[in-house]
C-alpha cells in the first residue's frame, strides 16, 4: 500500500534527524506533529470542508478532539510550548474556538508564536483536506499567493520537466502547490536577475536561498532534480542553517514554516 503524505514526511524527518544533529530535536518533534496530523486527516477525510478564509470553520466538529490533540502535542513539546498549549486548553472552547476560527480566516499574525503554532498545527491537515476537495484550474495561475487559501508560500520546489526543471510554490498553510516563474521574487515580483541573489551551502547542495534585494525577503527552494528523496516541507525545516545566513545578510523570510523558523 502506498505511503500517505504524512507517513512520507514522518519517515523523512526521522531520517534527517539522524544526520542533522543541530536540528535533530526539532525534526523529531515535527515527526510527532505529523503523526497527529495524519490521524486527523484519517478521522475527517469524509467530511466536507470550506477552503480556509472562504467559509466558517465548523469548530463544533473539531472541538471534540482539540483538547486531545493538545494533550498529545504537549508530551514532547518544549516547556514553553507545553505551558502555552495547556493554558489554551484550559481557556475553554469559546476562547480557543475563536482563535481557531481566526487562524482559519488568516489572522495568525496577531497571535503569540506558541499559540499560533498550536492552531496552525491543528488546522493544517483540515486545510489540506479542504484543498483536496475542490477543483481549481491552475493552468493560467501564476500569482504570488496560494490559489486555495490566499496564504503566502513557505517553500519553492523545483521538479523535473524535460531537460530542466519547473518551479512551483508550496503554500505555508494548506501545502498546495502552483507553478511560478523561475526568475521572479515571490514576494514583490522583482524580475531583474541582478537583484535576485542565490546562496547555497555544501551541506544542502539541493536547497538554496533565493533572495530579493528589492524587498529584502527570501524563500528557500528544494531542488528535486538533485535529490528526489527530499520532502520539501521537511527538508526546508532541516536546512535551518541557510536561514541563519539569510538573516545575517539582512533578509526576512517570506513566511515562517510550521516550526516558527
Question: Is the predicted pLDDT of residue 108 greater than 60, yes or no?
Answer: no
User: pLDDT at position 162, please?
Assistant: 85
In this prediction, residue 55 has a pLDDT band, given cuts at 50, 70 and 90, of confident
Say whether both 190 and 246 belong to one domain.
yes
Give the lowest-confidence range in 54-58, 76-80, 116-120.
Answer: 54-58
Same domain, 123 and 226: no
Asked if 28 and 88 sit in the same domain, the reply is yes
- Comparing 110 with 231, the larger pLDDT belongs to 231
Per DSSP, the residues of 146-164 read -TTT-PPEEEEEEEEETTE
Q: Averaged over 176-201, what is the pLDDT?
A: 96
Mean pLDDT, residues 96-121 taken together = 85
Length of the chain: 261
Q: What's this model's pTM, rounded to 2 decimal places?
A: 0.94
Could you give the residue ranges of the DSSP H alpha helices within the chain?
5-19, 24-44, 59-63, 66-74, 79-90, 93-104, 113-132, 232-238, 240-248
Q: What residues contact 188, with CB distance under 8 A and at least 6 apart?
A: 212, 214, 215, 217
| Domain identity same for 99 and 56 | yes
Q: What is the mean pLDDT of residues 16-29?
A: 97
Neighbours of 145 (CB within 10 A): 14
167 shares a domain with 121:
no
Q: Nearest Cα to 155, choosing from 23, 40, 36, 243?
A: 243
Last residue of a domain, one of 132, 162, 193: 132
pLDDT at 70: 96
**pLDDT value at position 256?**
94
Asked if residue 210 has pLDDT above 70, the reply is yes
The average confidence (pLDDT) of the chain is 93
Q: What's the whole-number mean pLDDT along residues 103-125?
A: 85
142 occurs within a structural domain: no
Q: What was the pLDDT predicted at 1?
A: 39
**Residue range 105-126: average pLDDT?**
85
Q: Does residue 143 form part of some domain? A: no
- Is the pLDDT assigned to residue 110 strictly greater than 70? no
In the chain, the number of structural domains is 2
Is the residue at 140 inside a domain? no
Last residue of a domain, one of 73, 97, 132: 132
Secondary structure element (H or E) that encloses residue 209, with its range: strand 204-212
Residue 259 lies in a domain: no
**Pairwise CA distance, residues 82 & 133, whole Å:** 33
Where residue 109 falls among pLDDT bands split at 50, 70, 90?
low
35 within some domain: yes
Check residue 34 and give its pLDDT.
97
Domain that holds residue 170: 153-253
Amino acid at each position: 500500500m502506498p505511503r500517505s503524505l504524512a507517513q512520507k514526511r514522518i519517515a523523512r524527518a526521522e531520517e534527517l534527524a539522524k544526520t542533522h544533529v543541530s536540528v535533530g530535536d526539532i525534526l523529531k518533534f515535527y515527526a510527532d506533529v505529523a503523526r497527529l496530523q495524519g490521524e486527523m486527516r484519517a478521522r475527517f477525510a469524509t467530511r466536507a470542508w470550506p477552503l480556509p478564509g472562504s467559509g466558517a470553520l465548523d469548530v463544533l466538529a473539531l472541538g471534540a478532539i482539540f483538547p486531545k490533540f493538545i494533550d498529545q502535542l504537549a508530551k514532547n513539546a518544549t516547556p514553553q510550548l507545553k505551558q502555552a498549549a495547556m493554558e489554551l486548553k484550559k481557556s475553554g472552547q469559546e476562547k480557543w474556538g475563536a482563535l481557531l476560527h481566526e487562524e482559519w480566516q488568516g489572522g495568525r499574525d496577531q497571535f503569540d508564536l506558541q499559540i499560533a503554532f498550536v492552531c496552525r498545527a491543528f488546522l493544517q491537515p483540515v486545510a489540506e483536506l479542504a484543498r483536496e476537495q475542490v477543483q481549481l484550474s491552475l493552468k493560467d495561475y501564476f500569482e504570488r499567493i496560494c490559489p486555495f487559501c490566499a496564504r503566502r508560500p513557505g517553500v519553492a520546489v523545483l521538479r523535473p520537466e524535460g531537460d530542466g526543471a519547473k518551479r512551483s510554490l508550496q503554500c505555508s498553510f494548506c501545502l498546495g502547490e502552483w507553478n511560478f516563474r523561475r526568475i521572479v521574487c515571490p514576494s514583490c515580483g522583482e524580475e531583474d536577475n541582478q537583484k535576485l541573489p542565490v546562496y547555497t551551502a555544501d551541506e544542502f547542495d539541493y536547497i538554496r536561498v533565493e533572495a530579493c534585494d528589492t524587498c529584502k525577503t527570501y524563500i528557500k527552494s528544494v531542488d528535486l532534480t538533485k535529490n528526489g528523496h527530499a520532502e520539501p516541507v521537511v527538508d526546508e525545516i532541516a536546512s535551518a542553517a541557510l536561514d541563519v545566513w539569510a538573516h545575517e545578510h539582512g533578509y526576512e523570510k517570506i513566511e515562517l514554516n510550521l516550526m516558527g523558523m
